Structure 1
Amino acid sequence: MDISVIIPLKNEEESLPELAAWIERVMNEHHYSYEIWMVDDGSTDDSWSVIQNLSKSNKNIKGIRFQRNYGKSAALNEGFRVAQGNVVITMDADLQDSPDEIPGLYKMIVVDGYDLVSGWKKKRYDPIMKTIPSKFFNWTTTKLSGIKLHDFNCGLKSYKKKVVKSIEVYGEMHRYIPVIAKWAGFRKIGEKVVEHRSRKYGVTKFGLERFINGFLDLASIMFVGKFGKRPMHFFGALGSLFFLVGFIIALYLAVMKIAYLQYKMTDRPLFFLALLIMIIGSQLFLTGFIAELVTRNAADRNSYLVEEVIDHKKPEEVRL
C-alpha cells in the first residue's frame, strides 16, 4: 500500500464528508493505493455516524472510536499502530490542511529520501493570539532540539512507515514528533511550505494551556531522549556538583574556625546553606542510583532500533 492517511478528530461532523471526498479525488488522480484512518477522539456530535457512513461507501475509509477524549497524541499513536502504508500522512479534520499537498509530501519521502517531512504554514489564517505564541514556541524548540523547522505543530506531516512504527506519542507530545523521531535516530527531517486554509466549519480546539503543557513536554522529551538509558549521568553529575560546592563552603568555614578560635561556624547562615546544598547533592545522587536500578530492570532496557545487519552465518548458525 502506498499511503496511509491518519486524521485525528473531535466534533468535526460537518467537514468529514468534504475532506474524505477531497482525499479520494487526489488519490485517484495520482493512482495511489491508500487507506484513511479517521480516529474519533471522543466526539459528542455525530462524527462517528458520519465515519460509519463514509466507510460503507468507500472501503478505504476506516475508523477508530475512543470511548472518551484522550487527546490528539493518543489518536495519532493509535493511528500509527494500525497504519499499513509505506508513507504515513497526518492531517487535521477541519479542512485547514489541504489534501492537494499529499503528492508533494509523498514525493519527498519516496523520491527525496526524507524520514519525516513537516508542513510549514507560511501564510496563516489564525488569530494573532495563536500565531505569536506559536512563533515563540517554534523558536524555542528549534534552539533546544537543533531541528530547523518553522512549524513544529503543523498537523500536516508525512513519515516513512518505519518512523511511525518506531516511536511512541503520548500526553501532548504530538507537537514534538520531529524531536522524538530525531532521538530515535531518524535524522533526515525536512520541511515543505503548505497551504493553510481558513476554518470552514466548527470551532477551534485551541487553548492557551497547551503552551504550558507543551514546554513541560519538551523538557521531558529532551531529558528522556538524552538520559533515558543512563539517568545516573544526569542526577549523579548534578548531585556530585551540589555536594562538592557545599563541601567547599563547609571546608572554608572549618578553616576559618581553626584560624580564628573565636569564630563561630554555626552562627553563620553560610554554614546552614552548605549543609542544605550537601543534603540536596546527596539526594540527587541517590535519585540517580534509584533511577539507574529502575532502568536496568526495565523490560526494554536493551531495546534499540537497528537499521541493518550484515551476517555471513548460515541461517542454522544464527542464535537469537
Structure 2
Amino acid sequence: MTDPSLAEGGLSSSEMKRVRQAVHDSAAAEVATANDDRPQTFPLSPFYDDDTESVVVTSPPAFSGKVDAVRENPKLSLLFYDAEEPFVLYGRGTVRDDDLEANAEYVRELIEDEPPSPKREGFSKTTDVLESRVGRFLLGWYALRIVVEIEPVRIEPVETEVGEFPPWPATDLDRSEAESYDRLALTVVDEDGWPTTRSVAVVEIRDKVALLDVSLSVDDGTPACLLCHWHSSGLDKLSQRLYRGQCRAEGDRVVFDPASSFSMRNETLWDRLKFIVQGKWRTRQYFRD
C-alpha cells in the first residue's frame, strides 16, 4: 500500500527550516539510491539552495555511480545523523549534468552561502587547491560536478546510536580498519521503491554473515547494503566501505550476507596518489561512454 505522504509530498515551512539547518550542520549525510530493489548508500556532503528550496548533492564524473541510479529511479533518501534531532529525508532527485563546469561554479556559490563551519572551511580550502595551477593539473577532473537536486517529500525521525564494528576476516576487514569506522548504516528498498537507511546499533560477526541490531523489517533474501565510514570535520580525511548483499530476519535481528564490497580511503599520501590516478582514468572513461 502506497504511503500518501510519500506519494503527494510537500513539507511545512517549519520542516523545511529543519532540513535547511540539518544541511548546514552536516558535513555529510548517508545518501541512498535504488536500482530496482537494490540499494546503494554513500556519504555525500549536502548543500541547500534557498531559491529552489532543494537539497543538493554532487559527484565528480569519475564517481558518477553514486548518483547514476537517480536517472532511472528519482526516489532517494538522506539520513541526517548529525542533525540536532536526526531524521531521514525522503525526496525526488533530478540529475543535472549538461554543463559540469557551470555545476562546479553553482556548488561554489552554495558553499559560500553557508554559515561559517568546519564544513565550509574545508570546502573553501579544497576550492583554493583546485583553482591553483597544480590543482588544475592534478585535480581538474575532480572540480567537474554532476549535480542532483532533491525535492523534499517527507521526513522521518530516527535513532542514530551506532555500535562498534568488529573485524570481519571473511570479508578481509581487519581490526584496524574496523575500529576506524564511527558510522554503520543498513539500507533496504521498500515495496514502493523508496530506499531507507537506519543506523546499526550492534554488530555481531558470525563467520560469513553479520548479525545487526537495526530497526528495519526485512524478508528473506531482501537486497541490502551496509555502509561503514568516517571522516574528519573538514572532510580532508575519510574512509568508507560499502557492502552489497542480502538479508533476512532472525528473531529481533537482521542477518546480513555480503556478496561484494567496495572501499575508498583518503588518509595517506599513497591513498591520494591512487585517488588522482584512478580519478583521471575514470573521468576519461566517463566521457568516452
Do both share a fold (TM > 0.5)?
Answer: no
Between Structure 1 and Structure 2, which shows a larger proportion of strand residues?
A: 2
Between Structure 1 and Structure 2, which shows a larger proportion of helix residues?
A: 1
Q: TM-score range by the shorter chain?
A: under 0.3
Higher relative contact order (CA 8 A, sep 6+): 2
TM-score normalised to structure 1 length: 0.23
TM-score normalised to structure 2 length: 0.25
